[in-house]
Amino acid sequence: MNANQQLNLKDILLKALKSKLSFSDYITLMLYGNWETICGPDLGKKTKPKAFNKDILTVSVDNPVLLFELGFKKEDLLGKVNGYLFSLEKKKIFAEKAEKHITARDIRFINN
């Protein structure tokens, strides 16, 4: 099997889980798997998406100081998350499950 024929294990698992998870859990999983790319490596190591329910993304934060700081960066992070979700829609990653344009309207930060 050459390099072009090798299957990406991550892609295989995501396709398998897509039919088994709820839509909100699937979005959370997609965000979790790409979190450092979405928000950057520094912030990505200190925070993790926990849930996406009713268009609200809940993000777990390592410490209370960062929790306070993220309040000022909320709009920027919200834009990055929505940009990522839009890119998934363009790739038709969850087109068959989406009834409308998927966006996060708010982010809730919680302390780990």
CATH of the domain at 106: 3.30.300
**Which residues neighbour 42 within 8 Å (Cβ) at sequence distance 6 or greater?**
none
pLDDT band per the 50, 70, 90 thresholds, residue 4: very low
Q: How far apart are CA 39 and CA 8, in angstroms?
A: 23
Assess if residue 27 is contained within a domain: yes
Assess if residue 65 is contained within a domain: yes
Assess if residue 52 is contained within a domain: yes
Task: For 31-52, write each residue's pLDDT tens digit.
Answer: 999 999 999 999 999 999 999 9
Assess if residue 60 is contained within a domain: yes
Assess if residue 2 is contained within a domain: no
Which domain, by its residues, includes 29? 22-111
Question: What's the number of domains the chain is made of?
Answer: 1
User: pTM score, two decimals?
Assistant: 0.81
**Which pLDDT score is estimated for 98?**
54
Task: For 43-102, write each residue's pLDDT tens digit.
Answer: 999 999 999 999 999 999 999 999 999 999 999 999 999 999 998 887 776 655 555 678
Assess if residue 56 is contained within a domain: yes
- Higher per-residue confidence, 21 vs 72: 72
Assess if residue 82 is contained within a domain: yes
> 41 - beta bridge partners?
none
Torsion, Cα of 6, 9, 10, 16 (10° steps) = 110
Assess if residue 11 is contained within a domain: no
